[in-house]
């Protein structure tokens, strides 16, 4: 029977919007939400019983058995850490926590605290054994936080479920992490607005056509700590241990895989325009849109046919 579902929920510390259409079998809406709850239980840094917390508590001790899903996410995370020379880094949690605490304490972390935390964040510190399905954080105090990749993985999982249930058209947005199936129910392509980094929520500087694909934006404007009147945004550079300061306001990546788009957008945001463009162009994604602190927009060739600029901004296509 032809059905159309549209819903909004609050999970994973963000608003989740879903639109699902097709000859659907079973309770499609519930299945995606139940799946997201299950993934949050598995992957959350803040849930004591999650696999991530278990792994973090066992840092410095023998390896722990982990699920196939966590193994896959950690493999992907390690791959993008390697490709970005640790600009993207899931074992960055000690630094993420350090900077979060500085907001509450109204005091910046000391250089000593930063360099101590940095030693815990090296990519090699996370060991994976694919045959045994185990993971280990080598040094006590090391911790992983999947905030930079987990929503992408969750969006991919939800779209797999929509397809299993017979959806021909679907859209899910997990707080700026969008993935779609097919076209909109009226046959028109899905058009995703890209948030203007300096304007109120909902004000977009451009749009991106996104059918059977994922569009993910990383930006410093989304979340930040304010210490003595200065804003320190939530994405940390794994090479310096300080909030990323690469001359970018946001990066949007278009890819068939939301896991990839999520990791790449965070990595490219940290790397800055030049190295970020190289990373995206070498990866097997469609492309990316960069918004710089100088209010300029840079597009990779692959994304140009899908992107539309809505504001009067200098916009350049980059051939790599």
**Under rule CB under 6 A, which residues in 136-195 are in contact with ligand AMP?**
145, 147-148
**Under rule CB under 6 A, which residues in 214-233 are in contact with ligand AMP?**
218
Residue 45 half-sphere exposure toward CB, CA atoms < 13 A? 18
Tokens of 104: 């509450």
52 part of the interface to ligand AMP, by CB under 6 A: no
Give the number of residues in contact with ligand AMP, rule: CB under 6 A: 16
Q: How far is the CB of 152 from ligand AMP (least distance, A)?
A: 7
Task: Find which of Mg ion, ligand AMP, none residue 90 binds, CB within 5 to 8 Å per kind.
Answer: ligand AMP
Q: Give the residue, chosen from 232, 262, 273, 279, that forms a contact with ligand AMP under the rule CB under 6 A.
A: 262
Residue 304 half-sphere exposure toward CB, CA atoms < 13 A? 10
150 part of the interface to Mg ion, by CB under 5 A: no
Q: How far apart are CA 66 and CA 129, in angstroms?
A: 10
Task: Find which of ligand AMP, Mg ion, none residue 236 binds, CB within 5 to 8 Å per kind.
Answer: ligand AMP
259 part of the interface to ligand AMP, by CB under 6 A: no
What residues form DSSP beta bridges with 164?
none
Neighbours of 89 (CB within 10 A): 30
Q: How far is the CB of 266 from Mg ion (least distance, A)?
A: 3
Q: Are 289 and 314 in contact (CB under 8 A)?
A: no
Q: Give the residue, chosen from 83, 158, 178, 236, that forms a contact with ligand AMP under the rule CB under 6 A.
A: 236
Q: How far apart are CA 264 and CA 303, in angstroms?
A: 14
In 3-state terms, what secondary structure has residue 287? strand
Task: Find which of ligand AMP, Mg ion, none residue 197 binds, CB within 5 to 8 Å per kind.
Answer: none
Neighbours of 63 (CB within 10 A): 17
235 part of the interface to ligand AMP, by CB under 6 A: yes
255 part of the interface to ligand AMP, by CB under 6 A: no
234 part of the interface to ligand AMP, by CB under 6 A: yes
Q: Give the residue, chosen from 59, 83, 89, 288, that forms a contact with ligand AMP under the rule CB under 6 A.
A: 89
User: Nearest-CA neighbor of 182 among 209, 213, 214, 212?
Assistant: 212
Q: How far apart are CA 284 and CA 261, in angstroms?
A: 10
Classify residue 313 by its DSSP letter.
-
User: Nearest-CA neighbor of 268 among 289, 295, 239, 297?
Assistant: 289
Binding residues for Mg ion, per CB under 5 A?
148, 262, 266
Binding residues for ligand AMP, per CB under 6 A?
88-90, 92, 96, 145, 147-148, 218, 234-236, 238, 262, 266, 270
């Amino acid at each position: 029977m032809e059905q159309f579902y549209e819903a909004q929920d609050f999970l994973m510390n963000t608003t989740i919007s879903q639109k699902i259409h097709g000859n659907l079998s079973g309770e499609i809406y519930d299945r995606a939400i139940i799946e997201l709850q299950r993934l949050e239980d598995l992957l959350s840094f803040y849930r004591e019983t999650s696999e991530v917390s278990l792994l973090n508590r066992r840092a410095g001790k023998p390896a722990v058995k982990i699920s196939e899903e966590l193994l896959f996410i950690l493999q992907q995370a390690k791959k993008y850490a390697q490709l970005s020379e640790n600009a993207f880094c899931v074992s960055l949690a000690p630094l993420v926590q350090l900077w979060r605490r500085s907001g509450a304490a109204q005091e910046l972390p000391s250089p000593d605290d930063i360099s101590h935390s940095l030693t815990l964040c090296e990519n090699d510190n996370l060991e994976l054994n694919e045959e045994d399905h185990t993971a280990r954080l080598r040094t006590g105090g090391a911790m992983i936080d999947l905030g930079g990749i987990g929503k992408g993985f969750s969006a991919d999982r939800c779209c797999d479920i929509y397809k299993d249930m017979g959806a021909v058209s679907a859209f899910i947005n997990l707080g700026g992490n969008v993935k779609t199936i097919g076209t909109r129910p009226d046959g028109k392509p899905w058009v995703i607005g890209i948030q203007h980094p300096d304007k109120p929520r909902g004000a977009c500087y451009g749009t991106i056509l996104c059918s059977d694909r994922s569009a993910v934006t990383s930006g410093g404007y989304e979340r930040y700590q304010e210490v003595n009147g200065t804003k320190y945004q939530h994405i940390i550079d794994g090479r310096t241990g300080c909030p990323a300061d690469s001359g970018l306001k946001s990066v949007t990546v278009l890819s068939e895989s939301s896991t990839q788009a999520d990791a790449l957008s965070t990595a490219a945001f940290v790397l800055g325009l030049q190295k970020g463009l190289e990373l995206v162009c070498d990866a097997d994604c469609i492309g990316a849109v960069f918004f710089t602190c100088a209010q300029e927009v840079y597009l990779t060739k692959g994304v140009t046919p899908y992107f539309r600029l809505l504001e009067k901004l200098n916009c350049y296509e980059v051939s790599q």
